């Protein structure tokens, strides 16, 4: 009898220890459910921006493992599909202080504009991340690099913080997603037609910055760059843009009134002279007299249902280069 009691106690103690080990090694059903719920919970603005920050830190560390990502993550750089670890992943020294975040919690998308340094050389950088179940599933990046140390375009030093990109719209002034997309799309329609007819609603103070250079409503410029956004397009000057294609409205930030668009401008290069809407003749100059395309991220601030500010990151790619994002 005494031996049976001792054996029973030993077995009970053994089962207790084993049970405690199992409990420590595997989560309970309640813990598993909580973890699953956290993974499925929407990624809010702070969460989305956190993924951008992790991405930037991973670039500087040259270590994709520092970014939570899907095994099937898709990464493109300047419209070319690359493996994680290639391109900017291998060359980034540091990230500049200029930063714009564009958040779309409803779609799990986040955009970012900033400056990236490679071997000490600054470039202008735009990216889009798609987040699913707290992991990055897509990374789309465009980086505008200088061709030489003396190049003035792109001009990272020309990027100045614009408070309008960081300001929230009052709730009563926020537009439906479809309306915001339609307004941004009307800008590209105006450029593609470019007869001088305006399809887009522009604020009188609308300005545009491309690769760090203010190309519309620039008080320090001469010629068309001094004109406002609408006045420029009324001239018909951009008729050498043959087509504005593959427009994707990838991030819609209703809280701040921002729309981030990925698009291409094709230039057939066939125009040599053209009549502007004022009757004058314009002689098409390099590089618009040869076939090539622009791939770009174009960011629109929409305020009072009008385009108030535009900023773009642009890279030159082969003519009619297809997008890998269809």
Question: Is residue 14 scored above 70 in pLDDT?
Answer: no
The DSSP code for 67 is: S
Q: In the structure, what pLDDT confidence band is assigned to residue 114 with cuts at 50, 70 and 90?
A: very high
Closest C-alpha to 122, from 57, 211, 202 = 211
> Distance between CA 88 and CA 114 in Å, rounded?
14
Write down all domains in the chain, each with its CATH number in brackets.
45-158 (3.10.450.50), 163-317 (3.10.450.50)
**Tokens representing residue 129 in the block:** 């991340």
Q: In the structure, what pLDDT confidence band is assigned to residue 30 with cuts at 50, 70 and 90?
A: low
What is the percent of the chain where pLDDT is above 90? Answer: 79
What integer pLDDT is reported at residue 136 of this predicted model? 98
- pLDDT tens digits for range 240-261: 999 999 999 999 999 999 999 9
Q: Which long-range contacts (CB under 8 A, 24 or more apart) does 57-65 make?
A: 58/89, 59/88, 59/89, 59/92, 59/95, 59/116, 60/92, 60/93, 60/94, 60/95, 62/89, 62/90, 62/92, 64/89
As a dihedral over the C-alpha atoms of residue 124, residue 298, residue 61, residue 131, rounded to 10 degrees, the angle is 180
The DSSP code for 306 is: E
- pLDDT tens digits for range 283-313: 999 889 999 999 999 999 999 999 999 999 9
- pLDDT tens digits for range 184-201: 999 999 999 888 999 999
The mean of the pLDDT values for the chain is 89
Residue 49, classified by CB atoms within 10 Å of its CB into exposed (0-12), middle (13-18) or buried (19+), is: middle
What integer pLDDT is reported at residue 293 of this predicted model? 97
Residues 6+ apart with CB under 8 A from 56: 95, 112, 114
Question: Is residue 36 scored above 60 in pLDDT?
Answer: no
Question: Is residue 35 scored above 50 in pLDDT?
Answer: no
E strand residue ranges, 157-291: 202-210, 213-216, 243-253, 258-267, 273-275, 281-283
Residue appearing with tokens 């002034």: 173
Question: Is residue 16 scored above 50 in pLDDT?
Answer: no
> Distance between CA 216 and CA 209 in Å, rounded?
7
What is the percent of the chain where pLDDT is above 70? Answer: 87
Cβ atoms of residues 137 and 69 within 8 Å? yes
What integer pLDDT is reported at residue 125 of this predicted model? 96
Question: Is residue 2 scored above 60 in pLDDT?
Answer: no
Start-end of H helices in 171-293: 177-193, 229-234
Least confident of 41-50, 142-151, 183-192: 142-151
What integer pLDDT is reported at residue 29 of this predicted model? 53
What integer pLDDT is reported at residue 156 of this predicted model? 94
């Amino acid at each position: 009898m005494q031996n049976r009691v001792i054996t029973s106690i030993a077995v009970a103690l053994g089962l207790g220890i084993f049970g405690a080990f199992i409990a420590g090694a595997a989560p309970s059903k309640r813990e598993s459910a909580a973890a699953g719920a956290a993974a499925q919970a929407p990624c809010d603005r702070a969460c989305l921006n956190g993924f951008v920050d992790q991405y930037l830190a991973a670039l500087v560390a040259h270590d994709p493992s520092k970014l939570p990502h899907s095994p099937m993550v898709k990464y493109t750089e300047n419209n070319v599909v690359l493996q994680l670890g290639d391109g900017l992943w291998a060359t980034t020294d540091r990230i500049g202080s200029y930063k714009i975040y564009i958040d779309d919690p409803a779609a799990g998308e986040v955009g970012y504009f900033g400056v990236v340094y490679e071997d000490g050389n600054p470039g202008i950088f735009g990216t889009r991340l798609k987040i699913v179940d707290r992991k990055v599933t897509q990374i789309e990046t465009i980086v505008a690099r200088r061709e030489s140390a003396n190049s003035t375009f792109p001009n990272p030093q020309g990027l100045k913080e614009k408070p309008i990109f960081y300001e929230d719209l009052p709730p009563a002034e926020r537009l439906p997603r479809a309306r915001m997309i339609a307004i941004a799309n009307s800008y590209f329609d105006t450029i593609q037609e470019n007869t001088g007819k305006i399809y887009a609603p522009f604020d009188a103070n609308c300005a545009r910055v491309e690769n760090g250079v203010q190309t519309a409503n620039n008080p320090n410029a001469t010629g068309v760059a001094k004109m406002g956004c609408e006045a420029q397009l009324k001239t018909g000057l951009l008729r050498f843009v043959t087509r504005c294609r593959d427009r994707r409205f990838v991030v819609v930030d209703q809280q701040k009134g921002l729309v981030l668009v990925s698009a291409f401008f094709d230039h057939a290069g066939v125009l040599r002279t053209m009549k502007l809407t004022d009757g004058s003749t314009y002689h098409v100059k390099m590089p618009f007299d040869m076939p090539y395309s622009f791939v770009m991220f174009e960011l629109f601030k929409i305020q009072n249902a009008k385009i108030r500010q535009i900023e773009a990151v642009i890279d030159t790619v082969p003519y009619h280069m297809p997008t890998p994002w269809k």
